Chains A and B, each alone.
Chain A
Amino acid sequence: MRLTRHPILEFDRGREIEFEFDGRKLLGFEGESIAAALHANGVRVLRESIKKKRPRGFFCAIGRCSSCLMTVDGIPNIMTCVTPLKKGMRVETQRGKGSVPLAEPSSAGPPPSETKRGTDEVATIPLAIVGAGPAGLSAAAYAGRMGVETVVIDENDVPGGQLIKQTHMFFGSREHYAQIRGIDIGDKLIANLSDLPAKLMLGTTVLGLYPDRTLSLLTAGRHVRLRAGAVILATGASENMLAFENCDLPGVYGAGAVQTLMNVYGVVPGKRVLMVGAGNIGLIVAYQLLQAGVDVAAVIDAAPEVGGYHVHAAKIRRAGVPILISHTVLRVTGPDRVESAEICRVDDHWQPVPGSETTLSVDTVCLAVGLTPNCELAFQMGCRQTYMPELGGLVAVHGSHLETSIPGVFIAGDASGVEEASTAMIEGRLAGLAAAEWLGTEFDADELTRLRAEAAGSLETLRAGPFGAKAREGKKKMLSSMNEDKADSK
């Protein structure tokens, strides 16, 4: 179902167009993702899994999993969650691995020797920033203030990262854009770049990052290379998965996917939702579901207490949504999509308590069970890594200026440890300054020192409370890990 009105958002939909799904004519909006258009038409099963032929649907919504692969215009394995819908597209449920149609001899291209190769030239840039979310855009602004020319690369066509789905007001104080809704903060961060030598390169995926700081990019259907003087990785985080019976059934979605569907495309995920995870993301998305007119059956969490802010919990409690701590989901059932979910209590050792099972009639289960930093580009080029549960898992070792173990490579925001968007912005600023310093661009050293001290102070304040304890501890351990590495290399 499509939202026709929303208390916070206005949906700027494209032209209404016709497309084909398994021979049926359906309507969608040009430019929305194929998966969103199908969801709006009530289609939840997108493919059949490769061996066990299980139904699969939408899941991550960011082109990171294999759940939504379909055959589009005869080509299999198309990630329909990130592929824009076009008029007349022929979309088919994919069964198995799919096979690529062989080209007719008449339509074959010129012999290889005559093919123009588009990948020989390598462009250069002083600073490449990967990710146009809160950390990346802030990094570009601060590097730009130091006079550094920057390109900010993002795979999405719209900058802002996760901010574009955040309908709630941010916490913090004025310098952290407090009281402004996330959806509006992205615009402000982009406006900050207007007089600076910063360019956005959107719709561009970084396929690889090599030790000489060459980035391999996929942009507008072409492969190009870019060599950067310095690189800042602001690549965010990915959602964690939870395993339970039938967890791969269509209707089990990541919280980020639900936000994308609902707040970007204006398509509701279902009629009644079970939210798994009572951290801030789970609580906020539960509230957003209520705002979109979707019923939330309960918010459950295996932990013995609510992980997120009380104020977020209070908003959904007073709207009548129960929060059940020490609860987990055992299984979901339904022939080809979720029709019910069975939950139960867990004991002090996280084990299900027999006899405590309850069945909820829901058509959607939303998973908000934590995030893992996206460090793969850092790891590809060989940055030292460490497993730090406080920061969300495997992260690139980094210092207080967000420098990694490889000179000229910096990491900021959720990619350097899962926290809030407010801390991501400040980390971005610090990384931007550090990159400028490393590049040796001509700049006002006093200004850099002042901005750095200001940002460091701001980070300390944001992490000072009980909710910052994990990040505080993680970053402290990270610093000693970095210093050990430095001592080792001497």
Chain B
Amino acid sequence: MKDDVIICRCEDITYGEIVEAIDSGLTTLDELKRVLRTGMGPCQGRTCSRLIARIITERVGGEVADMRFLLDRPPTMPVEIGILAGKNDED
């Protein structure tokens, strides 16, 4: 695959950037997320996690089945902070 193919759309991270990070020793989805922000955008890794998992196995071996995926935490959707704080438009 060409280096400039976008893998993480939210954070604009390319295949080349991910491969470089993996080759530098970041071999889990979590490590890549912390360094590259892949999976930290509005989609929370829904679009790219599977693709990145595959790239990791291609570079360092192993099976996607054995991989630890990103933790799911609330909120599932981006939400205005005011709503969580109790803002009520009727007020």
Interface of A with B (CB < 8 Å)? 49-52, 54, 56, 59-60, 63-67, 69, 77, 79, 109, 115-119, 205-210, 216, 218, 221-223, 238, 240-241, 243-248, 372, 376-377, 379-380, 385, 387, 389, 393-394
Residues of B7-37 at the interface with A, using a CB-CB cut-off of 8 Å, are 7, 9-12, 15
Contact A248 B76 (CB under 8 A): no
Other A-B contacts than A66-B43, A240-B50, 7 sampled, CB-CB below 8 A, are: A50-B12, A63-B77, A118-B86, A208-B75, A222-B88, A248-B6, A379-B71
Determine how close the nearest CB of chain A comes to the CB of B36; give it in whole angstroms: 11
Is B61 at the interface (CB under 8 A from chain A)? no
Contact B91 A116 (CB under 8 A): yes
Q: What sequence of 0s and 1s flags, for each residue 42-70 of chain B, a beta carbon within 8 Å of any chain A beta carbon?
A: 11001110110000000000001111010
Determine how close the nearest CB of chain A comes to the CB of B75; give it in whole angstroms: 4
A60 to B50, CA, bound (A): 16
Contact B86 A115 (CB under 8 A): yes
- The interface residues of chain A lying within 8 Å CB-to-CB of B67 are 387
- The interface residues of chain B lying within 8 Å CB-to-CB of A52 are 6, 12
Contact A118 B88 (CB under 8 A): yes
- The interface residues of chain B lying within 8 Å CB-to-CB of A207 are 74-77, 79
Determine how close the nearest CB of chain B comes to the CB of A240; give it in whole angstroms: 6
Contact of B42 among A69, A117, A389, A393 (CB under 8 A): A69
- The interface residues of chain A lying within 8 Å CB-to-CB of B42 are 65-66, 69, 77, 79
Contact B43 A64 (CB under 8 A): yes
Contact of B76 among A205, A240, A372 (CB under 8 A): A205
Contact A222 B74 (CB under 8 A): no
A206 to B87, CA, bound (A): 18
Which residue of chain B is the closest to A82 with respect to CB atoms? B77
Of A60, A238, A387, most buried by chain B (CB within 10 Å of CB) is A387
Contact B65 A387 (CB under 8 A): yes
A248 to B69, CA, bound (A): 23
Interface of B with A (CB < 8 Å)? 1-2, 4-7, 9-12, 15, 41-43, 46-48, 50-51, 64-67, 69, 71-79, 83-89, 91
Contact A387 B9 (CB under 8 A): no
A107 to B69, CA, bound (A): 44
- The interface residues of chain A lying within 8 Å CB-to-CB of B91 are 109, 115-116
Which residue of chain B is the closest to A379 with respect to CB atoms? B72
- The interface residues of chain A lying within 8 Å CB-to-CB of B15 are 243
Determine how close the nearest CB of chain A comes to the CB of B18; give it in whole angstroms: 10
A221 to B84, CA, bound (A): 10
A63 to B77, CA, bound (A): 8
Determine how close the nearest CB of chain B comes to the CB of A46; give it in whole angstroms: 13
Determine how close the nearest CB of chain A comes to the CB of B70; give it in whole angstroms: 10
Pick the 3 closest A-B CB pairs, nearest first.
A208-B74, A117-B86, A207-B75
A387 to B66, CA, bound (A): 8
Determine how close the nearest CB of chain A comes to the CB of B49; give it in whole angstroms: 9
Contact of A54 among B6, B69, B72 (CB under 8 A): B6
Contact of A243 among B7, B66, B85, B88 (CB under 8 A): B7
Determine how close the nearest CB of chain A comes to the CB of B39; give it in whole angstroms: 12
A238 to B42, CA, bound (A): 15
Determine how close the nearest CB of chain A comes to the CB of B2; give it in whole angstroms: 6
A65 to B73, CA, bound (A): 17
Determine how close the nearest CB of chain A comes to the CB of B12; give it in whole angstroms: 4
A63 to B1, CA, bound (A): 28
- The interface residues of chain A lying within 8 Å CB-to-CB of B9 are 49, 56, 59, 65-67, 248
Contact A208 B76 (CB under 8 A): yes
- The interface residues of chain B lying within 8 Å CB-to-CB of A379 are 71-72
Contact of A206 among B41, B50, B73, B76 (CB under 8 A): B76
Which residue of chain B is the closest to A387 with respect to CB atoms? B65
- The interface residues of chain A lying within 8 Å CB-to-CB of B46 are 64-65, 238
Contact of B73 among A59, A116, A241, A380 (CB under 8 A): A380
Determine how close the nearest CB of chain B comes to the CB of A459; give it in whole angstroms: 25
Contact B51 A243 (CB under 8 A): yes
Which residue of chain B is the closest to A370 with respect to CB atoms? B50
A208 to B83, CA, bound (A): 14
- The interface residues of chain A lying within 8 Å CB-to-CB of B89 are 221-222
- Asked if A223 meets B12 with Cβ closer than 8 Å, knowing A244-B5, A247-B6, A393-B50, the reply is no
